[in-house]
Amino acid sequence: MIRRLMLKKRENTEAAQINAEGLQINTEAPQINTEESQVNAEEIQRNIEAECSKNVSFLLNLSTRCVGDVRRKW
């Protein structure tokens, strides 16, 4: 009987440790998700800035060509 109780106590201790580890993982997961979201937001911002830069360059080149065309026609 005592042996069975000791075994049960050890099982409960192990189960409590597993639960504690699970709680720690659940606590850390939102932090990790927040950090990943921040990294994703920064990457999206860089992509938007790069795309805008390309568009501005395209428009500047286009306007330069248009001015050149107008000058040649005059």
DSSP result, 18-63:
HHHHHHHHHHHHHHHHHHHHHHHHHHHHHHHHHHHHHHHHHHHHHH
Mean pLDDT of the chain: 85
- The model's pTM is 0.51
pLDDT value at position 74?
Answer: 61
Tokens for 38, please give them.
């921040």
Tell me: the pLDDT tens digits for 23-57? 888 888 888 889 999 999 999 999 999 999 999 98
Counting DSSP H helices and E strands in the chain, the numbers are 1, 0
